């Protein structure tokens, strides 16, 4: 049972934008201080799914791509959207294969995360994938990706030097480093 009561009061809400990936609502609210205001809420139509593949030599794979919303290039763990009606592990397996060509025998969900809970209800999951087999990639039509195989320790250093800034990637890499004592 949640012991914390919601201090916000919803007066009304309306959809202001909708596409295949997101829905944006405008909420008229009474805030915790008693003032009336507007709150915007972005709801994603997919779960955020990230995968950290680790081979027996301690290597991992990163995916590089230009992120339109940031107007910059981004190195990230393999990731993508998992439709809410599909099991998150099945989505993780699909994304790893699409983006790296890898399949894995051993899967472990290591994290559930809210990506930016001040504006969105997006829920993310990160998996550790081990016992890897190489294969061919199957990129989506919107993807122009570079794939980099590197020692996990280098990926961890990229996080520590802010060369990796994606929230799922940062959180997942730090968690794997802690779990595996790397």
Task: Please report, for the chain, the start and end positions of each structural domain, with discontinuous segments joined by +.
Answer: 9-44, 46-179
Is the torsion defined by CA of 150, 100, 89, 118 positive or negative? positive
Q: Could you give the count of Cα atoms lying within 13 Å of 103 in the half-sphere of its Cβ?
A: 6
Q: What is the pLDDT of residue 142?
A: 63
- Convert the pLDDT of each residue in 121-171 to its tens digit: 999 999 999 999 998 877 666 667 899 999 999 999 999 999 999 999 999
CA distance 153 to 72: 24
| Assigned architecture for domain 46-179 | Alpha-Beta Complex (3.90)
Average pLDDT (51-63) is 97
Across the beta sheet with 9-18, the strand order is: 9-18, 22-30, 36-44
Average pLDDT (24-28) is 95
Cβ–Cβ < 8 Å for 43, 22: yes
CB atoms within 10 A of CB 102: 22
Q: Which H or E run contains 75?
A: strand 72-76
Q: What is the pLDDT of residue 62?
A: 97
Q: What is the pLDDT of residue 141?
A: 64
- Convert the pLDDT of each residue in 1-17 to its tens digit: 568 899 999 999 999 99
Q: What is the pLDDT of residue 22?
A: 92
């Amino acid at each position: 049972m949640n012991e914390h009561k919601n201090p916000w009061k919803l007066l009304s809400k309306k959809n202001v934008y909708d596409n295949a990936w997101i829905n944006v609502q405008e909420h008229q609210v009474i805030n915790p201080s008693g003032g009336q205001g507007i709150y915007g809420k972005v709801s994603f139509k997919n779960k955020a799914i990230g995968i950290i593949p680790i081979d027996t030599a301690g290597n991992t794979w990163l995916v590089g791509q230009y992120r339109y919303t940031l107007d910059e290039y981004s190195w990230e763990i393999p990731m993508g959207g998992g439709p809410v009606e599909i099991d998150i592990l099945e989505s993780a397996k699909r994304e790893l294969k699409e983006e790296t060509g890898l399949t894995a025998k051993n899967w472990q969900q290591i994290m559930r995360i809210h990506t930016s809970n001040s504006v969105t209800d997006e829920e993310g999951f990160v998996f550790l994938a081990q016992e890897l087999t190489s294969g061919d990639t199957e990129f989506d039509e919107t993807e122009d990706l570079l794939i980099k195989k590197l020692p996990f320790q280098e990926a961890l250093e990229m996080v520590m030097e802010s060369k990796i800034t994606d929230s799922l990637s940062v959180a997942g890499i730090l968690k794997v480093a802690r779990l595996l004592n790397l």
